[in-house]
Structure 1
Amino acid sequence: MPFALALLVVGMELTPAHVVYTGPLLTATPALAAVTMGPKGTISAALTALLVSVITATHNQAWGTQQVYTNVLAIVLVSAASVMTSSATHARRRSELNQVRRIAEAAQRVLLRPVAGRLGPVRAASLYLAAEAGAQIGGDLYEAVRTRFGVRMIMGDVRGKGLPAVRSAAAVLGAFREAVHYEQDLVEVMAHCAAALRRERAMPRGVGQDEEDPAEGFVTALVAEVCDGSMVRVVNRGHPPPLLLHQGRVHLLTPASPLPPLGLEEFLTGPAAAPESFPFAPGDRLVLYTDGVVEARDDDDVFFSLPGPVEAAPASSPSELLELLHQALLRHTEGHFTDDVAVLVVDRLDEEADR
């Protein structure tokens, strides 16, 4: 708008319409820039207004008249005030943004804290990347904890965006963190997560809070357990199947009986299926992830291939693999993520390392 006004003045002054007094339009240029632009933009608009004023006064041979000097003085005074106002507003907004980011980082440490590097018989590492610009947390969730039943993990993805998705993720994670310590059956752990999601969705919203779309809010989730022996037990509720790296080859741990996501229990056709067991020997690697990884696209709409980087770095540590995946995703998408990304890498240690 500020530069459009300056262009309008040029058009009027260089045509027979120059009889119209255009000084107020030029004076308003830096003031408008202070509202919509930062200090640099305001200075640019002020200089543009002065330049237009000089050009039009020269073209119309108006130098020496009181009108021209009054117009230039008004532009200078309004420009100075606009730059000071814009600078103060910019500083205040930056301070507010920094405060919001600090709060978001604190919330992330509570909701999506990094997993411990060593959990009994496994080594682990986690990665989370929010798709929303400036966001620290979103709708993906993960956790890995050591319990008396073994090492238990969850990976989930909330259907939806914004604060409703964060609330759903917090409800599911809170239920998981509590239930894993006293429920022996993984199916019951998942049932607690589903119940917490139902309670959260049934809570009345306060004035001004976003109402959740009934079609949104369900959660794809996967719960896994690594206990004694060379097996991993999995309950999958509509989530992308994990990858298992065994002897340099990647295998998909696809469930034999697909189940609907949490929040869509009406589509269950019978009692919840028992956990499925898969070989997970010392030296194997388990990769849990959300669909933001495998659905990441490049400029040609080609999906990201997760098995490739996993197979290419079998000797790396979990944290090193995550760094390689992060860089590969950035190259593939050129840094433009359309969905949140969460990855959890777990390595089964050998017997000597377990001691």
Structure 2
Amino acid sequence: MSATSIGTSVAGTLRTWRRATPERVWPAGALLLIVAIPVADFFLPPHIHLAHLLVVAVAVTAVHAGPRVTSSLGLLAVLALVVAGAERHTLTTESVVIELVALVVVVAFLVFFTRLRDRREGELARVRRVSDATQRVVLRPLPDRAGPVTLASEYRSADADTCIGGDLYAVARVPGSTRLLIGDVRGKGLASISDTATVLGAFRAAAHRRLPLPELVAYIEDTVRWSLAEFAEPDDDVAERFVTAAVLDIPDDEPVVRMISCGHPPPLLLPGTAAGVTPLVVPDPSPPLGLGLLSADTTYAPATFPFDRGDRLLLYTDGVTEARDRQGAFYPLAERAALRQDRPPEALAATLITEVREHTGGRLDDDMAMIVVQRDRDPSLVG
């Protein structure tokens, strides 16, 4: 047999072993142990007794199997102890009786433990399904394309095993332009989902009405203020609840982007024809949504920035730029984005979010959201 054939055979065996689940491998090993112990006892000297090791087989099974398999192997272990005692004519001795009672008690405990564990795992699986369904309803995935732009997004919640939190984003396609929203509800994780749903619902309800950008943001502001007043708990401090947001409008037939910033971190412009990153700082930013600081006769002022074919926008929440390492240093988003601006939008977003997690050592103190927007289609081709 050639070296190549041997290598292929070994690789195939390893792949088969990896595919074998612990639920199958460990019970099979435990079963062999249960059978081997009475056989070994038969050939060993009288002063060497291995039957007490039967509990190890049951315990290992309980770690990887459910209550049905554990109880079955536990019963076999009890029978194996009886057989081992009968072989040595010690079944009625005090030591063997004590071992037998102890094994029965341990098996009963392990079966009870596996039943509780399976019930808990079932509850966690249902909670995870509800969380995933909530994310799909509240924080819908962004499409790959919207008009003349390509979109890529990443989201990480500060709460472990949670798919949604206080950061939010949405896109709406209207005749002649694409509208984007990215925001950050004060707070993090599950506690901020209500305000997240309010902002997203208001944006989706109004974005398609062809309202001018200032009127769109004013509508979202009114909805957020009404929601905070209507659904606030008696001990809630409404003045401390607000949402930072940036609302953008990307026309199909103009190489620009119009934006209203409500206290949100400035997006980064990555030009397609040159290296470097430019923060899009709005000259006259508005206060965060929900604070009600604008007077009735004051309108939101959009700012216009160049955004031509090949250019990219990097939208993000402060969970990205305020992520710290163990020495307290912030993650240098602009610097890292400049080094990787030649990557496709999806790869760029995924790489930067991965680097943030590595920068913090895997721990997240805040939710993170990021969108990469690339204008890459001729306006005349947009339907």
Shorter-normalised TM-score: what interval?
A: 0.7 to 0.9
Whole-angstrom CA distance in 1 between matches of 2:184 and 2:221: 13
Correspondence 1:214-229 to 2 at 5 A? 214-227=238-251, 228-229=253-254
Q: Counterpart of 1:236?
A: 261
3-state secondary structure, aligned to 2:270: strand
1:88 equivalenced with 2:115 (yes/no):
yes
Cα pair 2:244 2:264 within 8 Å, conserved: yes
Correspondence 1:27-66 to 2 at 5 A? none
Report the AA paired with residue 135 of structure 1.
Answer: T
Q: Counterpart of 1:193?
A: 220
What residue ranges of structure 1 are gaps of 5+ in the alignment? 1-38, 41-66
Correspondence 1:255-274 to 2 at 5 A? 255-266=282-293, 271-274=298-301
Residue identity (%): 40
What residue ranges of structure 2 are gaps of 5+ in the alignment? 1-61, 64-93
3-state secondary structure, aligned to 1:169: helix
Report the AA paired with residue 266 of structure 2.
Answer: P
Whole-angstrom CA distance in 1 between matches of 2:254 and 2:120: 55
Deviates more, 1:95-104 or 1:181-190: 181-190
The alignment yields a C-alpha RMSD, in angstroms, of: 2.9
Give the TM-score, by structure 2 length: 0.69
Q: Counterpart of 2:125?
A: 98
Q: CA deviation at 1:289?
A: 0.5
3-state secondary structure, aligned to 1:266: coil
Whole-angstrom CA distance in 1 between matches of 2:380 and 2:128: 39
Per-residue CA shift, 1:283-336, capped at 9, x if unaligned? Answer: 111011000000111111111111123212233221111121122122211211
Correspondence 1:150-189 to 2 at 5 A? 150-189=177-216
Cα pair 1:164 1:217 within 8 Å, conserved: no
Q: Counterpart of 1:345?
A: 372
Q: CA deviation at 1:217?
A: 2.5
Whole-angstrom CA distance in 1 between matches of 2:119 and 2:234: 27
Deviates more, 1:166-175 or 1:247-256: 247-256
Rg comparison, structure with higher value: 2
1:215–1:76: structure 2 CA closer, same or farther, 3 Å change rule? farther
Report the AA paired with residue 224 of structure 1.
Answer: L
Give the TM-score, by structure 1 length: 0.75
Q: Counterpart of 1:203?
A: 230
Per-residue CA shift, 1:54-109, capped at 9, x if unaligned? Answer: xxxxxxxxxxxxx9999977765543333222211110010110111111111111
Q: Counterpart of 2:45?
A: none
Q: CA deviation at 1:196?
A: 1.8
Q: Counterpart of 1:148?
A: 175
Per-residue CA shift, 1:213-239, capped at 9, x if unaligned? Answer: 435431001100100211100000011
